[in-house]
Each structure stands twice: as structure tokens, then as C-alpha cells.
């Protein structure tokens, strides 16, 4: 398997360089990808848990994203899949020129990122990369691909931390690595890939800090949250609220020592974020985020102006209207596009993925039930965050395409519950086989498999 992955990586890299009109640009993008992937691979190799599996998963995840990203780049499909990539490419170049003293571009990028709501973090990231290697959108796509593949590894460790179960962790990581929409959004020059990576990193660091205090994970958490603030500010506030509530309630049995640890973590985190300048953005952003009348204007524009808009008559400008809009909003966020809404090629190519997602949803519900019943405290930050963001997007979104795209920010965590449900069903089948084997004559008995998800005793809940 290692040799096969190495051969595929070499073949894909050579092919990309050979068939790209600008071979120097392609070679530069491939080299940039190799350097970043090598660094991430080194970090993964330091793990004592499933190191070989995770390295193979990571490499395979990078390769499939390189392939998808290259096809989008080579055939100029950025507008078809995500026109924002061209915006960040142009604004990143403007930011670089602004750093070099160009007054016009200074004004341009200041207007774009005013108030921290324009994805200025992605602009800075693109500008920083361009300052090192020159303008190269393909390199940005490959960097996002590495982050997307790395996300699967973080999800593996998060799932294993909660359930101490290799099967659950592997299944969740495989879904995160290869689910089509997660691959698509992290193969382009969009901010979706970094956002999902920062989210998964923030939740993993929170889980680790819920167990014991660690300056390393405080730094990781603060950095990931600041990354979220720079990319999509309202996700930062939702994540911060979920993390804060989780530390207050406690992710383990509450003792004087654990309570003191959680207070220390919160104080250290708030101090770190203040040092990073979060308070400069908070006032105006929170006002926009919590103003239902502004949300209604944004939602109505999306529903009316887009061909794939829905709920044009919904009004979320009041509390009662917002509550009444939640059921239809959640339905579209989780399950759209539906078969009768596939009116274009872009919508139709989502059908295979949607069939898999719809089929997996019952296992998500089963896994969620088990988790709430037996691992409630341990999964608290993920549970609070996914619930809050699901409700927020149910109110914000009036466009099927945007809902489909932003669902990716939830899927990586939903897949943990899907994996739990799948393993529970598998264990049930194994238990039946064991019972049948025990009922057979001794010579026909097979060796029963061991149970891998166990219901904890009350002292462990």
C-alpha cells in the first residue's frame, strides 16, 4: 500500500506538471504541496496510535484533493464550483501590493475586510503565500487540500478521545477524508477548507483541555479560534460559546481540581484572545450577528435572487418568526437538494453523495442517542457547537446551494455520530452471530469477536 501511494503521488505530480500550460507554476504548486504535506505527515508519524493507517489516509486524502483541485484549475471551473476563489486570488494579490506600499490597494483591501466580516484571514493567507512563491492559485488549492486531508486526522483523534474506540475513529476519519463535498470544498481556493480545519482543531484541543490543562493545547485552541475569527466571524462566536459552556459545565465528573482547571483554561484562553485583538472586532460583529432584522434582509436576498432559493415567504425578523422558520430551515440544511430540485448539472452531480448521506442519517440518529446517553459530558463541546450552528444556518440560509456548501462545516462532526451508529449496528450483528455460534455443536463454533463499544458504568458517565 505504501509503495502504491508513493507511485500514485509521483504519477499525479508529474502529470500535473506536464499537462499544465505553465509548467513552472505547476511545479511550484506541487513542491509547495509536498513541503506542507511532508510537515503534516511528520507530525502524524509522531503519533503512537494507528500511525500507519493515518499516514495512508492522509496521503490518499491529499492526492484526491490534488486531482480534483487540478481539474478545477485546468478547466477553469472556479466560477462553476466556487467563484469566491477568484475573489480571494485577486484580493490576496491586492493585499500583497498593499503591504508593499500601494495606496490604492491599501484602500481596496481595507474596504473588503472592514469590520472583520469579509474573510480577511483568507486574504492574508493568500497574500502571505504569494509573497513567498508569487501569484499561484493552484498552490493555494493544494494547500487547502492538505488542510482538508489533515482534518480527517484531527477527527480521528477527536472520535477516539471521546469513545476510546478504533472502529469509530477510523470510520469517522474515512468519511471526513473522502466524502465528496468535503473533498470539493477543500480542493479550491476557498476559505471553507481552512474553516473546517480550524473548527476540528478547536474542538479537539477543547476535548484535551477538558481532561487536563496543557499550555500547548491552550495555544492550539487560541490559534484555531483566531483563525475562525479571521475567516468567518460568527462561527468564531458560536464555537467560543460552545467551548465556554462546556468548560463551565465540565467534560468530566466535577471536582474541585477539575473546576479550578477549567477556570484556569478559560482565563488563559480569554487573555490569549484579547492579546490577539479579538475585542477590537467584537462589538459591531455581535450586533450584526444577533440582529434578526439584518438576518432577514440577508436571508430574503438569498432566497429571492437565487434560482435555488427557498422559503421566500419566511420572515425571521421576529423571535416567533425565527422559531417557526427553524423546521423548514433545518430540513433544507440537512437534506437539500432533493431529487425534484435537481434542475441543473451543478445540482445533479450532488445526487450520489446525497443518497449516501440520506442512507447514513438513521445511523447518525442512533449514534447521537448513544452518545447523549453514555458520553454526554465528553462530547459536550461538539454537541453544543453543532446544535447552535445548525440552528443558525437554518435561520440564515435561503439558498440550497449555500446550505449545501456550509453543511460541510457540520458534516465532519456529524460523521462521528454516524460512525458510532454504524459500529453499534455492527456489534448487534456480531452478537447475533455469537449467539448462533453458541447454539451450534462444539465443533461448529466460531471464535466470537470482542465488543468494541461498551456502555460505561454510571461512574464513568
- pLDDT for res 397: 81
In a domain, 339, yes or no: yes
CB-count exposure of residue 106 (10 Å: 0-12, 13-18, 19+): middle
Distance CA 24, CA 271 (A): 45
* Residue in the block written with cell 452531480: 349
In a domain, 129, yes or no: no
Flag residues of the chain having pLDDT under 50: 115-117, 442-452, 456-461
Calculate the alpha carbon distances from 440 to 77, 304, 423, 434 in Å. Answer: 60, 65, 26, 10
* CB-side neighbour CA atoms (13 Å) of 248: 7
In a domain, 63, yes or no: yes
Joined together, the cell numbers standing for residue 384 give: 453544543
Joined together, the cell numbers standing for residue 178 give: 473522502
In total, how many domains does the chain have? 1
Determine if the pTM surpasses 0.95.
no
**CB–CB of 416/207 below 8 Å?**
no
* CB-side neighbour CA atoms (13 Å) of 184: 18
Distance CA 107, CA 367 (A): 50
Instruction: Give bridge partners of residue 399 from the DSSP assignment.
Output: 309
In a domain, 119, yes or no: no
Length of the chain: 461
In a domain, 433, yes or no: no
- pLDDT for res 92: 95
Domain of 179 in residue numbering reads as 2-76+136-421
Distance CA 202, CA 235 (A): 12
- pLDDT for res 348: 85
In a domain, 435, yes or no: no
- pLDDT for res 448: 36
> Which residues are CB-neighbours of 288 under 8 A, at least 6 positions away?
115, 117, 294
Phi/psi at 48 (5° precision) = -95, -5
Give the model confidence (pLDDT) of 370-380 as tens digits: 999 999 999 99
* Residue in the block written with cell 465540565: 250
**CB–CB of 91/189 below 8 Å?**
no
Distance CA 290, CA 80 (A): 32
The distance of Cα 403 from the centroid of its chain, to the nearest Å, equals 14
Alpha helices in 215-278 (DSSP H): 215-231, 233-249, 256-275
- pLDDT for res 459: 34
Give the model confidence (pLDDT) of 344-366 as tens digits: 777 789 889 999 999 999 999 99
Calculate the alpha carbon distances from 322 to 27, 299, 331 in Å. Answer: 51, 12, 14
For the chain, how far is it from start to end, CA to CA, in angstroms?
Answer: 40
In a domain, 358, yes or no: yes
Instruction: Give bridge partners of residue 309 from the DSSP assignment.
Output: 399
In a domain, 144, yes or no: yes
Amino acid at each position: 500500500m505504501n509503495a502504491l501511494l508513493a507511485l500514485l503521488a509521483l504519477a499525479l505530480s508529474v502529470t500535473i506538471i506536464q499537462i499544465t500550460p505553465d509548467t513552472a507554476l505547476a511545479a511550484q504548486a506541487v513542491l509547495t504541496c509536498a513541503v506542507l504535506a511532508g510537515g503534516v505527515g511528520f507530525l502524524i508519524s509522531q503519533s503512537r496510535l494507528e500511525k500507519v493507517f493515518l499516514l495512508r489516509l492522509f496521503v490518499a486524502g491529499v492526492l484526491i484533493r490534488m486531482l480534483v483541485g487540478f481539474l478545477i484549475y485546468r478547466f477553469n471551473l472556479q466560477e462553476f464550483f466556487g467563484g469566491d476563489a477568484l475573489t480571494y486570488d485577486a484580493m490576496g494579490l491586492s493585499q500583497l501590493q498593499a503591504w508593499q506600499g500601494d495606496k490604492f490597494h491599501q484602500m481596496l483591501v481595507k474596504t473588503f475586510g472592514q469590520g472583520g466580516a469579509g474573510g480577511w484571514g483568507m486574504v492574508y493567507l493568500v497574500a502571505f503565500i504569494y509573497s513567498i512563491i508569487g501569484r499561484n492559485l493552484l498552490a493555494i488549492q493544494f494547500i487547502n487540500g492538505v488542510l482538508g486531508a489533515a482534518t480527517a486526522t484531527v477527527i480521528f483523534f477527536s472520535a477516539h478521545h471521546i469513545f476510546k474506540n478504533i472502529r469509530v475513529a477510523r470510520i469517522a476519519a474515512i468519511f471526513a477524508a473522502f466524502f465528496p463535498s468535503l473533498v470539493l470544498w477543500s480542493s479550491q481556493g476557498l476559505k471553507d477548507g481552512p474553516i473546517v480545519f480550524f473548527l476540528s482543531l478547536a474542538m479537539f484541543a477543547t476535548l484535551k483541555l477538558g481532561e487536563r490543562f496543557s499550555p500547548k493545547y491552550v495555544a492550539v485552541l487560541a490559534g484555531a479560534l483566531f483563525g475562525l475569527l479571521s475567516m468567518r466571524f460568527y462561527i468564531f462566536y458560536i464555537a467560543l460559546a460552545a467551548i465556554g459552556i462546556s468548560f463551565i459545565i465540565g467534560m468530566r465528573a466535577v471536582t474541585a481540581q477539575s473546576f479550578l482547571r477549567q477556570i484556569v483554561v478559560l482565563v488563559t484562553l480569554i487573555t490569549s484572545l484579547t492579546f490577539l485583538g479579538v475585542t477590537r472586532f467584537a462589538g459591531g460583529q455581535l450586533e450584526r450577528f444577533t440582529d434578526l432584522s439584518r438576518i432577514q434582509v440577508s436571508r430574503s436576498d438569498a432566497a429571492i435572487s437565487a434560482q435555488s432559493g427557498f422559503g421566500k415567504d419566511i420572515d425571521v425578523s421576529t423571535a416567533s418568526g425565527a422559531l417557526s422558520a427553524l423546521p423548514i430551515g433545518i430540513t433544507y440544511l440537512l437534506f437539500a437538494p432533493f431529487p425534484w430540485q435537481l434542475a441543473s448539472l451543478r445540482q445533479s452531480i450532488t445526487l450520489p453523495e446525497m443518497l449516501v448521506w440520506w442512507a447514513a442519517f438513521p445511523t447518525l440518529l442512533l449514534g447521537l442517542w448513544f452518545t447523549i446517553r453514555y458520553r454526554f459530558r465528553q462530547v459536550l463541546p461538539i454537541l453544543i457547537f453543532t446544535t447552535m450552528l445548525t440552528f443558525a444556518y437554518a435561520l440564515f440560509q435561503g439558498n440550497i446551494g449555500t446550505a449545501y456548501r456550509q453543511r460541510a462545516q457540520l458534516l465532519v462532526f456529524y460523521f462521528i455520530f454516524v460512525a458510532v451508529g454504524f459500529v453499534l449496528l455492527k456489534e448487534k450483528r456480531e452478537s447475533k452471530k455469537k449467539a448462533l455460534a453458541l447454539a451450534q455443536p462444539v465443533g461448529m463454533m466460531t471464535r466470537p469477536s470482542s465488543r468494541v463499544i461498551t456502555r460505561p458504568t454510571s461512574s464513568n458517565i
